[in-house]
Structure 1
């Protein structure tokens, strides 16, 4: 049952990572930040190449919005998630 819960978190994190990207592409920075906050909460402790890729992609995209304090904070959290 524990493995099932981890699989659900991994899947949810992947979906949230993609959803944040969609919000940002549509010009909705606030929506992307909200979804990516949930993504990082969900991704913590999950070992997955897809989740790591989503975190790296998020960090790159947020670098373009360094004027926003929430974007900077989320980019830093993503960096900690990616740290070995």
Structure 2
């Protein structure tokens, strides 16, 4: 459902659903991160990635996560953050 909301640009509904979820896996995190990145909200994508790597449920970023976050860094021209992202995984 999160992915569907992000595909139509309804990031507020996607985030509301994401925030209400008691448990999140890497697919859920990726849906929200890539949704932000693909809808011009690169800073929010990076912030959510930071939340992901410090989350209590300890989801591990995968290749999909990295592509979305590095893309967000590219859109922001944030080379230093991109280097940090690469070094975290």
Alignment correspondent of 1:19: 32
Q: Structure 2, unaligned stretches of length 5 or more?
A: 1-21
Q: TM-score, normalised by structure 1?
A: 0.53
Flag the 1:18–1:57 CA change in 2: closer, same or farther, 3 A.
Answer: same
Flag the 1:33–1:24 CA change in 2: closer, same or farther, 3 A.
Answer: same
**For the residues of structure 1 that align with 2:32 and 2:25, how far apart are their CA atoms?**
10
Give deviations 1:59-79, integer Å, cap 9, x for gaps: 1233443541223312321x2
1:75 to 69, 75, 86: 86
More helix by share: 1
Q: Structure 1, unaligned stretches of length 5 or more?
A: 1-6, 80-84
How many residue pairs are counted as aligned between the two chains? 63
User: Comparing both chains, which one has the higher relative contact order based on Cα–Cα distances under 8 Å and sequence gaps of 6 or more?
Assistant: 1
Flag the 1:13–1:39 CA change in 2: closer, same or farther, 3 A.
Answer: farther
Answering whether residue 6 of structure 2 is matched by residue 28 of structure 1, we say no
**For the residues of structure 2 that align with 1:38 and 1:26, how far apart are their CA atoms?**
19
